[in-house]
Amino acid sequence: MDALEILSDLERVFPFFQPIFSADEHRVIGYEVLGRYRTDEGCISLGPFLLDETIPDEYRVEVDNLILKRALEETAIQEENDFLLFINRDPNLLMLDHGEEFLDILKSSLKTEQLNRIVLELSEFGYDGELNPLLHLLEYYKTYGIKIAIDHIGQESHLDRIAQLSPQILKVNLDMLRHSGGSSREFLYSLGMMARKIGANLLFENIETVYQLQFAWKNGGRYYQGFYLASPGAEFINKDLLREKFANECHGFIVYEKKKLEAIYKKTMQYNNGISLLLAKYKRFEKYSELLQALAEELKNKCFRLYVCDSDGFQQSPNIFQKHGKWSVQQDYLGKNWSWRPYFLETIVKMRNEKKGILSDLYSDIETGETIRTFSYPLLNGDYLFIDLSYSYLYENEDLL
Q: Are 315 and 289 in contact (CB under 8 A)?
A: no
Longest CA pairwise span in the chain (Å): 89
For domain 3-234, which CATH number applies: 3.30.950.10, 3.20.20.450, 3.40.50.10860, 3.40.50.150? 3.20.20.450
Across-strand partners of 120? 87, 148
CB-hemisphere CA count at 13 Å for 222? 13
pLDDT by 10s per residue, the chain, length 401: 688 899 999 999 999 999 999 999 999 999 999 999 999 888 999 999 999 999 999 999 999 999 999 999 999 888 778 899 999 999 999 999 999 999 999 999 999 999 999 999 998 777 888 999 999 999 999 999 999 999 988 777 788 888 899 999 999 988 877 765 556 777 888 888 899 999 999 999 999 999 999 999 999 999 999 999 999 999 999 999 999 999 999 999 999 999 999 999 999 999 999 999 999 999 999 899 999 999 999 999 999 999 999 999 999 999 999 999 999 999 999 999 999 997 899 999 999 999 999 999 988 898 898 999 999 999 999 999 999 999 999 999 988 98
Over residues 150-200, the pLDDT tens digits come to 998 877 778 888 889 999 999 998 887 776 555 677 788 888 889 999 999
CATH code given to domain 256-400: 3.30.450.20
- Amino acid 180: pLDDT: 56
- Amino acid 7: pLDDT: 92
- Amino acid 274: pLDDT: 97
Q: In this structure, how many other beta carbons lie within 10 angstroms of the beta carbon of residue 307?
A: 23
User: Any idea what DSSP says for residue 79?
Assistant: S
CB-hemisphere CA count at 13 Å for 217? 22
Sign of the dihedral defined by the CA atoms of residues 299, 301, 303, 307, in that order: positive
Q: Are 347 and 376 in contact (CB under 8 A)?
A: yes
Query: What does the domain layout of the chain look like in residue ranges?
Result: 3-234, 256-400
- Amino acid 363: pLDDT: 87
Q: In this structure, how many other beta carbons lie within 10 angstroms of the beta carbon of residue 264?
A: 16
Compute φ and ψ for 59, nearest 5 degrees: -70, -40
Element (H, E) at 384: strand 384-389
User: Any idea what DSSP says for residue 44?
Assistant: E
